[in-house]
Amino acid sequence: MGHIGHTGIGIGHTGIGHEGRPPSSTLGVYKPRRPQASPLYRLVQDHLHRLYTVYDERFAREYGPWRPVVTQVADRFLACGILEHGFARIRCDACAHEYLLAFSCKCRYFCPSCHAKRLALWAQWLDATLLASVPHRQVVLTIPKRLRAYCLYRRRLLGEIARVAARTVTAAIRTLTGERALAVGIVACLQTHGSRANWHPHLHLLVTDGGFRPDGTFVSWPVHDTARLTEAFRRAVLRLFVRRALFDEDAAAGMLTWPHSGFHVHTAVWVPEDDRAFATRLARYCARNPVALERLTYDRAAKAVTYRSDKAEGPTAGPETVDPLEFLARLLVHIPDKGHVTTRYYGWYANRPRGTRAKAAPAAADGPPAIVPASRLAPTEASRRWAALLRQIFEVDPLACPTCQGAMRIVAFITQAAVIAQILTHLRTRAATAAHADARSPPSTRAPARRSPARAPRPFAAPLTPP
Ligand SMILES: [Zn+2]
Ligand SMILES: [Zn+2]
pLDDT tens, N- to C-terminus, the chain (467 residues): 344 444 445 554 433 333 233 333 333 334 557 888 899 999 999 999 999 999 999 999 999 999 999 999 999 999 998 888 888 888 888 888 888 888 888 889 999 999 998 999 899 899 988 999 999 999 999 999 999 999 999 999 999 999 999 999 999 898 888 888 999 999 999 999 999 999 999 999 999 999 999 998 999 988 778 888 898 899 899 999 999 999 888 888 888 888 888 899 999 899 999 999 999 999 999 999 999 999 999 999 999 999 999 888 888 889 999 999 999 999 999 999 999 999 999 999 997 777 667 655 544 445 545 443 323 445 565 555 545 544 554 444 566 787 887 777 777 778 788 888 888 888 888 878 877 776 655 444 443 344 333 333 332 322 322 32
For residue 426, the CA-to-ligand 2 centroid distance in Å is: 22
Q: What is the structure's pLDDT at 256? A: 85
- Reference 79, options 7, 29, 9; nearest CA is 7
Task: Tell me: do 135 and 180 sit in the same domain.
Answer: yes
How many angstroms separate the CA atoms of 111 and 204, rounded?
Answer: 21
53 contact partners, CB below 8 Å, separation of at least 6:
none
Task: Tell me: do 204 and 267 sit in the same domain.
Answer: yes
For residue 115, which ligand has an atom nearest its CA? 1
Q: Note whether residue 217 is domain-resident.
A: yes
For residue 2, the CA-to-ligand 2 centroid distance in Å is: 24
For residue 81, the CA-to-ligand 1 centroid distance in Å is: 7
How many angstroms separate the CA atoms of 100 and 47, rounded?
Answer: 30
For residue 129, the CA-to-ligand 1 centroid distance in Å is: 26
For residue 72, the CA-to-ligand 1 centroid distance in Å is: 12
Contact (Cβ atoms closer than 8 angstroms) between residue 6 and residue 398: yes
Q: Note whether residue 467 is domain-resident.
A: no
For residue 90, which ligand has an atom nearest its CA? 2
For residue 27, the CA-to-ligand 2 centroid distance in Å is: 10
Q: Note whether residue 100 is domain-resident.
A: yes
Q: What is the structure's pLDDT at 407? A: 77
Task: Tell me: do 128 and 26 sit in the same domain.
Answer: no
∠ CA 334-339-342, rounded to 5°: 50
Residues with C-beta atoms within 5 A of ion ligand 1: 80, 104-105, 111, 114
What is the phi/psi pair of residue 264, to 5°?
A: -135, 140
For residue 96, the CA-to-ligand 2 centroid distance in Å is: 6
For residue 400, the CA-to-ligand 2 centroid distance in Å is: 8
Q: Note whether residue 252 is domain-resident.
A: yes
- Please tell me the number of Cα atoms within 13 Å of 255 on its side-chain side: 22
For residue 29, the CA-to-ligand 2 centroid distance in Å is: 12
Q: What is the structure's pLDDT at 16? A: 38
Please count the other Cβ atoms lying within 10 Å of the Cβ belonging to residue 10.
Answer: 23
Task: Tell me: do 359 and 408 sit in the same domain.
Answer: no
Task: Tell me: do 198 and 343 sit in the same domain.
Answer: yes
How many angstroms separate the CA atoms of 253 and 349, rounded?
Answer: 34
For residue 10, which ligand has an atom nearest its CA? 2
For residue 277, the CA-to-ligand 1 centroid distance in Å is: 26
Q: What is the structure's pLDDT at 36? A: 86
**CA dist 266 → 118, 169, 205 (Å):** 26, 12, 10
Q: Note whether residue 222 is domain-resident.
A: yes
For residue 181, the CA-to-ligand 1 centroid distance in Å is: 44
- Domain of residue 442: give its range: 4-33+81-107+399-460
For residue 35, which ligand has an atom nearest its CA? 1
Task: Tell me: do 366 and 440 sit in the same domain.
Answer: no
Q: Domain total for the chain? A: 2
For residue 461, the CA-to-ligand 2 centroid distance in Å is: 19
For residue 113, which ligand has an atom nearest its CA? 1
Task: Tell me: do 451 and 367 sit in the same domain.
Answer: no
For residue 433, the CA-to-ligand 2 centroid distance in Å is: 25
For residue 85, the CA-to-ligand 1 centroid distance in Å is: 12
Q: What is the structure's pLDDT at 148? A: 94
Domain boundary among 375, 407, 439: 375
Task: Tell me: do 368 and 453 sit in the same domain.
Answer: no
Q: Note whether residue 412 is domain-resident.
A: yes
Task: Tell me: do 203 and 255 sit in the same domain.
Answer: yes
∠ CA 424-430-435, rounded to 5°: 120
For residue 409, which ligand has an atom nearest its CA? 2
The answer to whether the bond into 214 is cis (omega within 30° of 0) is: no
Q: Which residues pair with 139 in a beta bridge?
A: 205
Please count the other Cβ atoms lying within 10 Å of the Cβ belonging to residue 215.
Answer: 8
For residue 38, which ligand has an atom nearest its CA? 1
Please count the other Cβ atoms lying within 10 Å of the Cβ belonging to residue 454.
Answer: 9
For residue 408, the CA-to-ligand 2 centroid distance in Å is: 7
Task: Tell me: do 238 and 284 sit in the same domain.
Answer: yes
Task: Tell me: do 136 and 265 sit in the same domain.
Answer: yes
Q: What is the structure's pLDDT at 103? A: 83
**CA dist 212 → 219, 220, 352, 377 (Å):** 6, 9, 16, 23
For residue 379, the CA-to-ligand 1 centroid distance in Å is: 33
Q: Note whether residue 391 is domain-resident.
A: no
Task: Tell me: do 215 and 347 sit in the same domain.
Answer: yes
For residue 195, the CA-to-ligand 1 centroid distance in Å is: 22
Q: Note whether residue 176 is domain-resident.
A: yes
Q: What is the structure's pLDDT at 388? A: 56
- Reference 413, options 405, 423, 427; nearest CA is 423
Angle in degrees, 0-180, between the axes of helices 276-286 and 112-125, rounded to the nearest 10: 140
For residue 26, the CA-to-ligand 2 centroid distance in Å is: 10
What pTM, to 2 d.p., does this model score? 0.76
How many angstroms separate the CA atoms of 437 and 124, rounded?
Answer: 47
For residue 28, the CA-to-ligand 2 centroid distance in Å is: 9
For residue 405, the CA-to-ligand 2 centroid distance in Å is: 6
For residue 106, which ligand has an atom nearest its CA? 1
Q: Which residues pair with 100 in a beta bridge?
A: 9, 89
